[in-house]
Amino acid sequence: MRTRVIEATVRALMQAETRLPSWVMQRIEEAASLETNPLARSHLHFMLENVRLAEDRSLPICQDTGLPIFHVQMGRDRVLDFSLQDAIAEGVRIATSTIPLRPNTVDPITRKNSGDNTGPGMPDIILDHVDGRSLKITAYPKGAGSENMSLVGMLNPADDPYDFILKTASERAANACPPLFLGIGIGGSFDLAARLAKRALFNMPGSSPQELQLLKRLNNLGIGPMGLGGDTTVLGLKIETAFCHTASLPVAINFQCWANRSATEVIL
C-alpha cells in the first residue's frame, strides 16, 4: 500500500505539472474568445499554446513547479500501517528527480535548499476523512508568484469584505500572473480564514450569486492578463465561510495564477 501511495503521488505530480485540468483550459479558451483587448487576447492565446507545448513534450508548464501541496481524502474504513506524510514525501522526492521538478523548498531562515522539495512541514497535506475505503490524492503544486500576493486581513465587523478583496486584487493582481483564480476565506480565525481560502482553491469555481457578482466587479477593474490591461482579470473564484467571533471579520485571499494546476489519483 505504501508503494501505491508513493506511485500515485508521482503520477499526480507528473500530470499536474505538465497539463491543465480541462475545465481550466475551457475557462481560458472562453476568455480568449470574449476578450476585446488585442494584447490581452494574444497573451491568452500564448498561454494556451504554452500548455499544449508542455503537454506534447511532457515538460513543466511553468518553471516554478511549486510547493508540494496535497489534498488527501481518506476513506474511514481504510487503515494505514505507515506514515502517509512520509510516503507522499517520498513520492515528491522521486518526482523531483524524474519529472524533473525545480528544487524549491528552503529553510526559511538560512535559505538553504533541501534539493528535493521536502523538509519540515513539506509536503503540506490537507487531510479529510470521507466515507468508504478509497484514498484520493490530489496534487496542487503552488507557485510562489501567486502565493506571495496572498493576504489575510483582520477586518472590523463594520468593514465590507468585498471592498477589501477588490482593493487587494487591484494592488496585487499584476504580480500574481493574472488572469487569476481566487480562493477566498471569510470568517473563522486568523489561521482558519487562510485555510478556508486554500480549501476554496480545491473547490473552484464557485457559482453562487455573490461569487458571480464579485467576479464581475473584479473583471471590471480592467487589470487584464499579466496586469497589462484587458477584460480578463479573474477566471474563477470561490468563497468558503466559517463562523467567527462577534468582534472579528477575518478575510483571506489566496491568489492562484492562470496555470491552475491540479491532478487526482485514486487508490481503491
Partner 1 sequence: MTEFHLRTPLSSADVQELNAGDVVFLSGMIFSARDKAHALMREKGAPISLEGAAIYHCGPLIRGNAVLSAGPTTSGRMARYTEEILARGVRAIIGKGGLPGAPFLNRAVYLAYPGGCGAAAALQLRVMGVHCQELGMAESIWEFEALEFGPMIVAVDSYGKDLFQDVRRSAEKQMTK
- Is position 70 an interface residue for partner 1 (rule: CB under 8 A)? no
Comparing CB distances to partner 1, the nearer of 132 and 222 is 222
Cell of 180: 487569476
Q: Which of residues 7, 25, 84, 103 is near partner 1 by CB under 8 A?
A: 103
Q: Which of residues 21, 75, 145, 153 is near partner 1 by CB under 8 A?
A: 145
Residues of this chain, 29-48, that bind partner 1 according to CB under 8 A: 39, 42-43, 46-47
Q: Is the peptide bond before 179 cis (omega within 30 degrees of 0)?
A: yes
- Is position 171 an interface residue for partner 1 (rule: CB under 8 A)? yes
Q: Residue holding cell 506571495?
A: 148
Count of residues interacting with partner 1 (CB under 8 A): 49
Please say whether the dihedral angle defined by the alpha carbons of residues 64, 236, 69 and 87, taken in this order, is positive or negative.
negative
Q: Is the peptide bond before 178 cis (omega within 30 degrees of 0)?
A: no
Contact 199, 240 (CB under 8 A): yes
Please say whether the dihedral angle defined by the alpha carbons of residues 103, 106, 110 and 111, taken in this order, is positive or negative.
positive
Comparing CB distances to partner 1, the nearer of 85 and 170 is 170
Residues of the shown chain interacting with partner 1 in the complex, contacts defined by CB under 8 A: 39, 42-43, 46-47, 49-51, 53-54, 57, 59-65, 100-104, 111, 113, 143-145, 148, 166-167, 170-171, 174-175, 177, 220-229, 257-259
